[in-house]
Chain A
Amino acid sequence: MKYVDEFRDGTVARGLAAAIARDADPAREYHLMEFCGGHTHAISRYGLKDLLPANVQMVHGPGCPVCVLPIGRIDNAIEIASRPGVILCTYADTMRVPASKGLSLLKAKARGADIRMVYSSADAVRIARENPGREVVFFAIGFETTTPPTAVAIRAAKAEGLANFSVFCNHVLTPAAITHILESAEVRDYGTVPIDGFIGPAHVSTVIGSQPYEYFAEEYARPVVIAGFEPLDVMQAIRMLVRQLNDGRAEVENEFARAVTRDGNAKAKALVAEVFELRRSFEWRGLGEVPYSALAIKPAYRDFDAEARFGIAYRSVADNKACECGAILRGVKKPTDCKVFGTVCTPENPIGSCMVSSEGACAAHYTYGRFKDVAIVPASA
């Protein structure tokens, strides 16, 4: 696969690993947060930790839109899907997220709700077109990468006059989340979670560009390197961050130059601005209420807003007391710090969202890395 395989080359990886080891100053530690769930997944799947020196530590951030979706919003989605005649279209990622009363979209489907997994928002529009007698609701999730496709779908539905199509909008914003982490008590005041620099998300940045991160670099004096999706991209970005920190720089650098520009995708941004507006506040699972961090559908497109159409009221639901997803999403704790990790909470039976999505820190660690935890146990055990 062109533009994929070359960026996964193991030989080159060893060269980059040596370069990072050479550049890392043994007298200090480097705590780098990768914000994007795709990067978390890449780090786990390719075992990148094995290739980094011990003083370069990765902290997993909340860049997994499924992980940060609050239970209450899944409850709303199940509520919508349970209305007679509704077809709920969703990306497959949401199907197993545990909601209230032991339910999930998958379980609701088993009980008879018409819930269909789609690959694209365009599929949801098509289903609406093909089922004029049914209400078709598209469960929209995702960061800035996934928002433009929803905007296109809404505009297409409006142009076609599809009166039976609406969107349950849960799009969230990256810069707001990063700010929130940097503002969190642990980081700002106590410094207990030192974050020295960020690996910026790959595909979000193709849309928003590298410009929005300049604020963080300046205001919080932390370097940001936007990294491509492949493991070599991540390693190179780590190296660039290490070098910036050594030099005392706090700039925005773009490792993913083959797809990201400073301004991003103007057309996509314009379409999003036409259809969506900022919510004053939105609850993120594990982070609480975050101001100006999510999008709602504008009044001009209110006809396609499922929350308006179905009169959806949001009820916040607290996480299971034993669940440490909140702390894990903020980078304060590791999966192995959670009492229920790997015992009660497993990918088969997830208690919190970090375990549901394969990008969640807990799922990634459980699936790819837990064998290393066990190896620490002495042989006599």
Chain B
Amino acid sequence: MSGVRTGYVRPVDFKHGCVDLTHGGGGRAMAQLIEELFQRAFDNEWLRRRNDQAAFDLPAGRLVMSTDSHVVSPLFFPGGDIGCLSVHGTINDVAMAGARPLYLAAGFILEEGYPLAELKRIVESMAAASKEAGVPIVTGDTKVVEKGKGDGVFITTTGVGVVPAGVEISGDRARPGDRILVSGTMGDHGVAIMSLRENLSFETTIRSDTAALHGLVAAMVEAVPGIRCLRDPTRGGLATTLNELASQSGVGMVISEAGIPVRPEVDAACEFLGLDPLYVANEGKLVAICAPADAERLLTAMRAHPLGRDAALIGEAIADPHRFVQMDTRFGGRRVVDWLTGEQLPRIC
């Protein structure tokens, strides 16, 4: 990518301009967009060098890498947007290994015709999220697809981090007797998104909980280095994540409905639409599994952190060859909390 002399070139029109095919063409227009939008917003020593890649040294420890594509619709929602979501999401995936996230890469697929003013909002939101988290976006890519072949903006972020020696966090490490904790209220993000869907719209003060969790994870690992599992319950919600962990670890689980924190508004929104909060996505929460003796200390450490104030102990792993996740209902019975079937759809019946 070559440098562009700005003196003789009209600046990108961020007020009224739209993405067009030249922005992905590899030529001057693309270079200009990259410089005036992405480089300016993300600004750091790697981007300033204008290479197609970034080179850096890594501290000691094992390398952790993760990637995520973001296709959320709508692109802007109460509490966030696809930009900060893409930064938080990948930081969180790296953090769930107990790793310290270090660098991010960001690939954009833009749809022809998408307003540059909105793209600028998204990129600036990403930059803010990246700066706040202390994880720079050091390299990236931009492509443009014809109108109708994209949903405005798709973003793929890849992150690398390092996990210190002695920390071994993995979804297959849960054992019978281990305790299961969540870092806060369930279902906020999914409900915030749904409140904007064209034929379902309802008014609510619920905001997406999108957040970078690496600070919380660091505090947790410091308090309990022997944490068994960490995972963030994104698509498919808490129920899906618990089923994944149960399956990976070869254990069953029993959780308590009364112990799972859910905001009253999230409960109410789910009632309206016939949804179950356990299956609704979260973007700023995590599930942790630890040895029984560590549970108290871990819970205290979580609650001491701003992103873990509503942390709760919700259940425990048990021996079960069928790997069912069972729940003691508020009502006094017990039922299975199964895998999500396809996409959770609202119902009238």
Q: A residues near B, CB below 8 A?
A: 1, 4, 8, 10, 13-14, 37-38, 44-51, 64-66, 91-93, 95-96, 106, 116-120, 123, 142, 146, 231, 346-348, 357-359, 366-371, 374
Contacts and interface: CB of A to CB of B under 8 A. Distances in A.
A48 B336 contact: no
26 contacts: A1-B267, A1-B271, A10-B329, A10-B332, A45-B329, A45-B335, A46-B329, A46-B335, A47-B332, A48-B333, A92-B345, A92-B348, A93-B349, A117-B199, A119-B200, A142-B348, A142-B349, A346-B341, A347-B338, A347-B341, A348-B341, A348-B342, A357-B349, A367-B336, A368-B336, A370-B336
Interface residues of B, number: 26
A255 B297 CA distance: 49
B165 to A, nearest CB: 40
A45 B271 CA distance: 14
A371 B322 contact: yes
Given A4-B271, A119-B200, A348-B342, A13 B349 contact: no
B330 interface: yes
4 tightest CB-CB pairs across the interface, nearest first?
A: A47-B333, A347-B341, A92-B345, A368-B335
A338 to B, nearest CB: 18
A142 B347 CA distance: 12
Nearest to A67: B349
B121 interface: no
B224 to A, nearest CB: 31
Interface in B315-333: 322, 324, 326, 329-333
Given A37-B349, A47-B331, A366-B338, 10 more contacts: A10-B330, A46-B333, A47-B332, A47-B333, A50-B332, A50-B334, A91-B347, A92-B348, A347-B338, A374-B324
A117 B336 CA distance: 28
Contacts of B330: 8, 10
Given A10-B331, A367-B338, A374-B322, A93 B347 contact: yes
Contacts of B322: 371, 374
B273 interface: yes
A66 B348 CA distance: 10
B194 to A, nearest CB: 11
Contact of B331 (A8, A91, A357): A8
Contact of A66 (B333, B338, B349): B349
Interface of B: 199-200, 264, 267-268, 271, 273, 322, 324, 326, 329-336, 338, 341-342, 345-349
Contacts of B347: 91-93, 357-358
A8 B199 CA distance: 30
A276 B52 CA distance: 67
| Consensus secondary structure, chain B interface | loop
Contacts of A48: 333
Contacts of A118: 199
Which of A1, A10, A45 has the most C-beta atoms of chain B within 10 angstroms of its own C-beta?
A10
B334 A47 contact: yes
A13 B271 contact: no
Nearest to A49: B333
Contacts of B333: 46-51
B118 to A, nearest CB: 23
B345 A95 contact: yes
Nearest to A116: B199
B329 A47 contact: yes
Contacts of A50: 332-334
A38 B349 CA distance: 7
A15 to B, nearest CB: 11
A117 B349 contact: no
Contacts of B346: 92, 117, 119
Contact of B335 (A47, A146, A357): A47
A106 B329 CA distance: 32
A119 B342 contact: no
Nearest to A358: B347
B335 A44 contact: yes
B268 A1 contact: yes
B198 to A, nearest CB: 8
A118 B326 CA distance: 33
Given A348-B341, A369-B336, A371-B336, A119 B199 contact: yes
The CB with the most chain B CB atoms within 10 A, among A10, A37, A92, A358, is that of: A92
A92 B200 CA distance: 11
A371 B345 contact: no
Task: Please indicate which of the listed interface residues A45, A348, A371, A374 has the most CB atoms of chain B within 10 Å of its own CB.
Answer: A371
Contacts of A66: 349
B5 to A, nearest CB: 47
Contacts of A146: 348
Contacts of A10: 329-332
A359 B349 contact: yes
Contacts of A13: 331-332
A8 B341 CA distance: 26
B251 to A, nearest CB: 14
Contacts of A4: 271
Contacts of A65: 349
B330 to A, nearest CB: 6
A64 B349 contact: yes
A116 B199 CA distance: 9
A14 B332 contact: yes
Contacts of B349: 37-38, 64-66, 91, 93, 142, 357, 359
Nearest to B328: A47
Contacts of B326: 371
A118 B200 CA distance: 7
Contacts of B273: 119
Contacts of A49: 333
A247 B338 CA distance: 41
Contacts of B348: 91-93, 119, 142, 146
A182 B329 CA distance: 34
Nearest to A66: B349
Contact of B332 (A37, A51, A123, A370): A51
B327 to A, nearest CB: 9
A65 B349 CA distance: 8
Contacts of B200: 119
A96 B344 CA distance: 11
A38 B338 CA distance: 19
A77 B332 CA distance: 42
A51 B273 CA distance: 28
A369 B324 CA distance: 11
